[in-house]
Structure 1
């Protein structure tokens, strides 16, 4: 069981509370009654509750009905052998420790058991029961740590999701306020011809407000030592930066209705490369951008999409590789705009379904593509490629 790989493991609060409760319940599966009885007697003297099963089939029935905290299993049993039991338990409950207690002397069996997820291997006959006691105690302690880590991660993800939602809501309110103020100012500038000055001030203030949010996230991240939490703050900060830079470019532009997206993209992708330390590796950047001007209502969701896809590539595409190539493009094709983000990294997992992904970043991308009334294509031929087409 890889202690750091807990993706896809979810448990509710009652299950965590149940695991922390005493005493722990242990299921021993062995076709020899004498061995089962001796293990039960010893473990009960150590303060554990013990369940017995005489074969693999019965063992799985007891496991599914009683949900023990730890499983001891022999490899050689009738009906269903120990390796099949181990595979089923690990698949159905990855955080339940399984210790193989077997008399087999075949090295291949021990290796296969560990490959299938066994937490430890104790050889029969057990000359010293303290060996079993130590293995059980160590496995239960490790399982408890994993349960707590999963619980902490889930609580952290919920908190980050809530905070990110608040940021998006705040941005929505800011945009709504901006549009209302633009309408009010338009009525004034009909006679005063001050429309440009007033709109520039709006973008300047929105940019400043978003910059304040970004600075607060940065200051808070300086006090965080947990790498997962720090990564979440960095991701949130880059999302805010993507929106702030749109307003900064509009503030600097002569045309206050549209943004020069070529200049924006060059600046923003460079910022992401610096933020995620691409300079520590040889990551070649290929930018192919037409002279495209996007209205603010298209520029902000487009920028958030680019942030999520480029960030994901810089973090995960190349693993520990020292070099790679990242390509970002945005071209105008008649009434449509085509955006792509491609890398030559290790690609997505074969079973990855971006339409059903539960990650916050991919959910944001899917929702923003829908907001743009666009369509997205994902391919994994020689890396990963996201291509999005929309009209603005």
Structure 2
């Protein structure tokens, strides 16, 4: 049974041209607590449907004028959420079937010998209505949740893009700051040296014009000038190397250098080239013997493993006389994996996320990562 409070809030419309049946249904339903409206024909029933808020409709099939099927179709079109139960005679099953196909929620045959069956049928239909409304509400809530989630995802994507741009700008600022710092030192040396050479040239010119220049003055000027120009040249070479490193960050026109090569040979050559620069350090190099031919950019691979080797020696083998480098190359599915390991010191946690930033360094003297 439906709860008393729920029943009392529901309105049932009964439509039947038989006064005794209509009044009997109304009396029974009112005793159950329903609010009951009744009509003696289809036309009167439709007028009530237009004007009143109805929770469930009980209608006979055959009536003078509009039939129960006509009422059903009107309710279906104008009040689609209002359930209609068809009441048909025992010999009118075909009309009940027609009504169900037209959208009736259930049907009852008359004479109704047990009115409790009517109560059960109404409760069953109302439970279906309640379930449908609950599902619709949940669907609306789910849809609203999905919309909010979609908006949240878009906001997160926007925030992520902004964070990525912020990180890029931060990295760019750090890179520019690092490049500026590295260039400022040799550039300052150049400016100071040139300024000093200029002052010495003015002094020697004054001595020469006054015929007071001695041979020792000229020799000293020449020596100082040669020393300072040597310093200037080294500083300019340092600046040039920094610019070359900076240009190597660009990937433009790499397609011009793409070709097939033996990966093992490129890696071996790069590691041996760098390790040979440290003759006083014993370095054990172990590279996988399997041969892998790839079509890519050999200069890029060479540069990568030169830098990895250099950093391993300078930082991993810091203050050590020996070290071991292991390079493992293996293939899984359509991917080639390269593992570069050394048995040196590990990277501190506070800088692990910065090691791929351009020009990041812990060693200002060597300029290495």
| TM-score range for the pair, normalised by the shorter chain length | 0.3 to 0.5
**Larger Rg over CA atoms:** 2
**TM-score, structure 1 normalization:** 0.41
